[in-house]
Amino acid sequence: MKLLVGQRALVTGGSRGLGRAIVLALARHGAKVAFTYARNEDAAERTRQDATALGAEVLSFRADAADNPATEAVVRSLESAWDGLDVLVNNAAITQNLPLALLEEEDFDRVMRVNVKGPFLTSRAVLRTMIRRKSGVIVNIGSLAGARMIEAPIHYTTSKAALIGMTEAMAKEVARHGIRVVCLAPGLLEDGLGRNLPDHRLADYLKHNALGRVGTFEEVAEVCVLLASSRSSYISGETLVMDGGV
């Protein structure tokens, strides 16, 4: 069953990894999908073609989510093309596997800029059109690291914990406009941070994981679709941890 027929969605950081899986899931469920990417034009074009092959109308934009003029330009383009947006997925994020003693101030600032400032700027731009229509859903992609006390890079963990706070505050503020805001916090997945972990840390994670495995991008993407759909119409301000039972 297609859950988002006729909906208009924007995914930040949608060309690769989890972002790509979310773009394809939204397309499979009947949405028009736009996505942003930072650098890799080949990956973006492959994602655009694959989503189009699923029958979706797809637009892609090279834009830094933490660059306010670029973000505003993307949203203006989508307002012109689609007359607004129904769903925003704040997915764009970065991390580094560095211990606290080796973190430079620039490392901390860069992660916070992308992982916190980016969702703030994009949400602010999109909310203007959602408020006018008195409807919309924002899904923030968080992390188990921001919701549980686990061993993870300090700056990444801090950014994802901040995203949970942003979700709660934003949900409270925009509820009167008929808008929902939720956070989806995956555990280790098949790529990204999970792939770069030392073997002993991955083994420790799996030992404490009830399902005994890492998650897949597709599993998380399908839950993202569910949260964005009317099937989750009474969920707002919450963080759903999706970690296989850690």
pLDDT at 140 (0 to 100): 98
On whether residue 3 sits in a domain, the answer given is no
- 194/216 Cα distance (integer angstroms): 11
On whether residue 232 sits in a domain, the answer given is yes
Tens of pLDDT, residues 173-228: 999 999 999 999 999 998 866 666 778 888 989 999 999 999 999 999 999 999 99
Arithmetic mean of pLDDT, 18-30? 98
Q: Examine the pLDDT at 244 and tell me if it is beyond 70.
A: yes
On whether residue 243 sits in a domain, the answer given is no
Percent of the chain with pLDDT over 70: 98
Catalytic, out of 37, 156, 205, 234: 156
Counting the structural domains of the chain, the total is 1
pLDDT at 193 (0 to 100): 63
On whether residue 109 sits in a domain, the answer given is yes
Q: Examine the pLDDT at 241 and tell me if it is beyond 80.
A: yes
Tens of pLDDT, residues 131-150: 999 999 999 999 999 999 88
Tens of pLDDT, residues 81-106: 999 999 999 999 999 888 899 999 99
Q: Examine the pLDDT at 161 and tell me if it is beyond 90.
A: yes
Tens of pLDDT, residues 107-125: 999 999 999 999 999 999 9
On whether residue 2 sits in a domain, the answer given is no
- 10/38 Cα distance (integer angstroms): 15
Q: Are the CB atoms for 137 and 227 separated by under 8 Å? A: yes
Residue 100's domain is classified under what CATH number?
A: 3.40.50.720
Q: Which domain holds residue 179?
A: 8-237
pLDDT at 191 (0 to 100): 80
Mean pLDDT of all residues in the chain? Answer: 95
- 156/5 Cα distance (integer angstroms): 35
On whether residue 75 sits in a domain, the answer given is yes
pLDDT at 108 (0 to 100): 97
Percent of the chain with pLDDT over 90: 89
Site of tokens 């916070």: 112
On whether residue 242 sits in a domain, the answer given is no
Query: Whose CA is closest to 27, among 240, 228, 188?
Result: 228
Name the phi and psi angles at 12, rounded to 5: -85, 145
On whether residue 151 sits in a domain, the answer given is yes
Arithmetic mean of pLDDT, 26-48? 97
pLDDT at 202 (0 to 100): 87
Q: What is the DSSP string of 111-170?
A: HHIIIIIHHHHHHHHHHHHHHHHT-EEEEEE--HHHHS--S--HHHHHHHHHHHHHHHHH
Q: Examine the pLDDT at 64 and tell me if it is beyond 80.
A: yes
156 is catalytic: yes
